[in-house]
């Protein structure tokens, strides 16, 4: 079924590029032009294709977003699942906004994936291919001792700076406000705790979270939170790293206006709870300087401004609970999930301590 879908979709896309190549300014001559399919394959939430249009040098990457085959069941989520019939359009406008902003900024530390267009049938985003590795791949190389850990410090700092710049991009007309009140975070945390308790049983860290989240949220968060254009998937796999430590975020939809700390917490959770870290119960910390990477990232985002550490810890806690819920929804009571539960519960305790230690309340919006 998957193979037939890929072949049918590839044929459709190939015919499109054959007849419309000049619209993409490939310099491939008048249509019809030779178009070759170089590769095609399914991913968790998309089908992707690479074509050579006119010549081997003119390559184009096509992404067709699709609903995941196993979306994790009926579990709580920080970010609601999108309407996948419209996701290609949302991604196109988000990538366009990033491209325009970072080109105008002209900062050599920051880049953007070059988007070429989108199609309604099939719902596809058309981009220039990116040959650079992701930050996830480089992070794994450090964990496996194939790269010196210090080589990624400027990359993490630039990743923080890129996110801060993305948060300054004016929201698209598709962006919907979400999570603008303190109570929304408390409701989300309690929803995750209830779900996890049902699946993994009574865990001391979960009970501590349930008791502490109300007081800690009042200590660190105003009643109404500032909102920015959210990335909503700013993790290590969605950041390309080019020459000179130049970074470019990817895979955003610009569908939400959300508190800026949500993306920050998600990124830190992506770093601390990726598969390398969980599979070793944190032993990879012996080769990966997590605290230094976190410091570099936060320095890149906040610079000389005071960091709202309590707010960051609370939103990182939400991201951690989301990650934990996704793991148990997919894998149930496997040995990997039991190992991950041990690591994640310790991480939750640490975040509660960090939130409790910071008595600085961020400025809210009236």
294-317 pLDDT, tens per residue? Answer: 999 999 999 999 999 999 999 999
Q: Where along the chain do its domains lie?
A: 2-127, 135-357
What's the mean pLDDT in 215-225?
96
Beta bridge partners of 241: 247
pLDDT of 362: 56
Predicted model pTM = 0.92
Predicted local confidence at residue 282, as pLDDT: 57
Distances (CA, A) of 236 to 109, 185, 299: 17, 24, 17
Phi and psi angles of residue 124, each rounded to the nearest 5 degrees, phi first: -140, 150
* Position 203 confidence tier, pLDDT thresholds 50, 70, 90: confident
pLDDT at 34 over 60: yes
What's the mean pLDDT in 110-134?
95
Q: Which CATH number fits domain 135-357: 3.40.50.180, 1.10.10.10, 3.90.1200.10, 1.10.375.10?
A: 3.90.1200.10
Question: Is the confidence at residue 1, as pLDDT, over 60?
Answer: no
- pLDDT-based confidence at residue 281 (cuts at 50, 70, 90): low
pLDDT tens for 318-334 read: 999 999 998 888 776 66
Q: What percent of the chain has pLDDT over 70?
A: 91
Residue burial 338-348, b: 16+ Cβ < 10 Å; e: rest: eebbebbbebb
Closest CA relative to residue 238, chosen from 133, 98, 122, 83: 133
Check residue 168 and give its pLDDT. 97
End-to-end CA distance of the chain: 53
- Beta carbons of 58 and 126 less than 8 angstroms apart: no
> Two tokens at 246?
């130049």
In whole numbers, what is the pLDDT of the chain averaged over residues? 89
Residue 199: pLDDT band with limits 50, 70, 90: confident
| pLDDT at residue 285 tops 60 | yes
User: C-alpha angle 362/363/366, rounded to 5°?
Assistant: 140
Helix (H, G, I), strand (E, B) or coil at 62: strand
DSSP assignment letter at 306: P
User: 352 has which bridge partners?
Assistant: none
Q: Percentage of the chain with pLDDT > 90? A: 67
């Amino acid at each position: 079924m998957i193979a037939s879908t890929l072949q049918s979709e590839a044929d459709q896309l190939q015919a499109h590029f054959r007849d419309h190549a000049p619209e993409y300014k490939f310099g491939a001559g008048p249509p019809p032009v030779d178009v070759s399919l170089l590769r095609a394959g399914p991913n968790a939430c998309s089908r992707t294709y690479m074509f050579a249009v006119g010549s081997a040098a003119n390559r184009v990457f096509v992404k067709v977003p699709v609903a995941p085959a196993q979306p994790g069941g009926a579990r709580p989520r920080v970010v609601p699942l999108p309407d996948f019939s419209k996701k290609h359009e949302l991604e196109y406008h988000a990538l366009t906004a990033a491209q325009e902003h970072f080109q105008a900024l002209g900062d050599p530390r920051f880049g953007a994936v070059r988007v070429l267009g989108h199609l309604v049938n099939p719902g596809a985003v058309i981009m220039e291919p990116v040959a650079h590795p992701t930050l996830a791949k480089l992070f794994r190389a450090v964990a496996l001792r194939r790269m010196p850990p210090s080589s990624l410090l400027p990359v993490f700092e630039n990743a923080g700076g890129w996110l801060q710049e993305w948060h300054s991009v004016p929201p698209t007309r598709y962006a919907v406000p979400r999570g603008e009140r303190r109570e929304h975070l408390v409701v989300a945390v309690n929803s995750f705790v209830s779900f996890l308790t049902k699946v993994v049983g009574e865990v001391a860290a979960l009970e501590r979270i349930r008791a502490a989240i109300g007081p800690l949220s009042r200590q660190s968060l105003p009643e109404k939170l500032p909102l920015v254009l959210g990335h909503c998937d700013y993790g290590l796999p969605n950041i390309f790293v080019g020459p000179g430590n130049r970074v470019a975020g990817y895979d955003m939809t610009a569908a939400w206006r959300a508190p800026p700390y949500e993306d920050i917490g998600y990124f830190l959770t992506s770093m601390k709870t990726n598969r390398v870290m969980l599979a070793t119960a944190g032993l990879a910390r012996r080769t990966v300087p997590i605290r230094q990477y976190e410091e570099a990232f936060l320095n890149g985002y906040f610079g000389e401004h005071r960091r709202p550490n309590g707010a960051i810890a609370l939103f990182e806690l939400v991201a951690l609970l989301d990650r934990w819920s996704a793991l148990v929804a997919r894998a149930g009571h496997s040995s990997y999930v039991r190992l991950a539960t041990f690591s994640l519960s310790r991480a939750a305790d640490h975040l509660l301590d960090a939130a409790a230690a910071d008595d600085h309340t961020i400025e809210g919006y009236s």
